[in-house]
Structure 1
Amino acid sequence: MVKWAVELSEYDIRYAPRPAIKAQILADFIAEGVTLETTPEGVWEVYVDGAASKHGAGAGVVVRTPSGVVHKITIRFRTLKTNNATEYEAILAGMTAANDLGARTIRVLSDSSLAVNQLN
C-alpha cells in the first residue's frame, strides 16, 4: 500500500468517497425503465421499489391501468432511514395512487420479499 502511495503521490490524486445515490437513482430507474407486460382485464398493476441511505430515501412507483395507461411517481422521504420502511411506504403510496385513480383490483409487484411476504 505504501509503495502505491509513493508511486501515485506525484500525480496529485485525491480520494473522495462517492456519496450514496442509490435511493434516487433506483427510484428514477423504476419510474422510467420498467417494461410492462399486458395486464389481465380489470387488474391494475403497481410496480414499486424503495431504497434508503444515510443521505436520504426515495421510492419509485409505476401504476398501469388495464387499458395500458402508465402513471409514474417518484417519492423522496425525509425521515425514513431503512430500506424496509421505504419499501412499505412505496407499496402504500402505489396502492393509494391506484385507488385514487379508480382501481378496484390491484396487483402489486415489488422486489422486497420481506414486505411482500408480510403483506401476503
Structure 2
Amino acid sequence: MGHNIRYIPCTAIKSQTLVDFIAEWMEVQLQTSDVTHEYWTMYFDGSVMAPGSGARVVLISPNGSKLRYAIHLHFLASNNTAEYEALINGLRIAVELGATWLYVYGNSELIIDQVMKESSCKCPLMAAYYQEVRKLEDKFRGIELHHVPRKDNDATDFLAKLVAR
C-alpha cells in the first residue's frame, strides 16, 4: 500500500511569519517603553476651635484604599500651625506606608504657597515647619502639592473640626 503524499511549497506562509514576528516585536517594544508610577494621594486639613486644635489626613493608595487619620493637637495652635501639623504628619505616614510618589492636596493657600516657594516664611515657627516639610520631601521620588478650595476638601475639613473639639 502506498501513500499519496505530495509536497506543495507555500511561500505565502513564510512571508506571513515575518509580518507576524514584526507585529509581535513592535507590540513588545511599545509596551516596555510605557513607564507608569504608582501615585498615592493625600488630602490634609487643620482646624482650630475652642477648646482645641486638630489635624486630619486622608491617604488614598494606588489601588483606591482610603486611610483616614485624625490627630488631636495637645497644645495651643494657630490655624497655620494646625495645617502644617496635618501636612507633616501626613507626609510621615505616607513614608511609613512606603509611598514614593505622592499627590498632596490642601486648602491652606498660604501653606501650599510657602512649600512651593511662592511665598516666604516670616515667622520662625513657620520656617521650622517649612524646613521639616523639605526634609520629608527628600524621602519621595516624586511629590506634587496642590491647593484645593475648602469646599473640595470637605472630608478632611469635617473630621479636623471634630477632632479639635
TM range (shorter): 0.5 to 0.7
Task: Name the structure 2 match of 1:116.
Answer: 112
Looking at secondary structure, tell me which structure has more helix per residue. 2
1:66 and 2:44 are equivalent in the alignment: no
RMSD over aligned Cα atoms: 1.3
Query: Could you list the runs of 4 or more consecutive aligned residues of structure 1 that deviate by over 2 angstroms after TM superposition?
Result: none
Q: Which aligned pairs between 1:41-120 and structure 2 lie closer than 5 A?
A: 41-120=37-116
- Pairwise CA distance, 1:47: 0.4
Unaligned runs of 5+ in 1: 1-39
Corresponding residue pairs, total: 81
Q: Secondary structure at the match of 1:90?
A: helix
- Pairwise CA distance, 1:54: 3.7
Task: Name the structure 2 match of 1:3.
Answer: none
Q: Secondary structure at the match of 2:62?
A: coil
The structure that has the greater radius of gyration is 2
Looking at secondary structure, tell me which structure has more strand per residue. 1
Bigger relative CO (Cα 8 Å, ≥ 6 apart): 2
- Pairwise CA distance, 1:69: 1.1
Residues 38 and 62 in structure 2, CA contact (< 8 A), matched pair in contact too: yes
Task: Name the structure 2 match of 1:28.
Answer: none
Q: Secondary structure at the match of 2:68?
A: strand
> Which letter maps to 2:85?
E
Change (3 A) 1:107 1:80: farther
Residues 52 and 83 in structure 1, CA contact (< 8 A), matched pair in contact too: yes
- Pairwise CA distance, 1:41: 4.6
TM-score where L is the length of structure 1:
0.64
Unaligned runs of 5+ in 2: 1-35, 117-165
> Which letter maps to 1:90?
A
- Pairwise CA distance, 1:80: 3.5
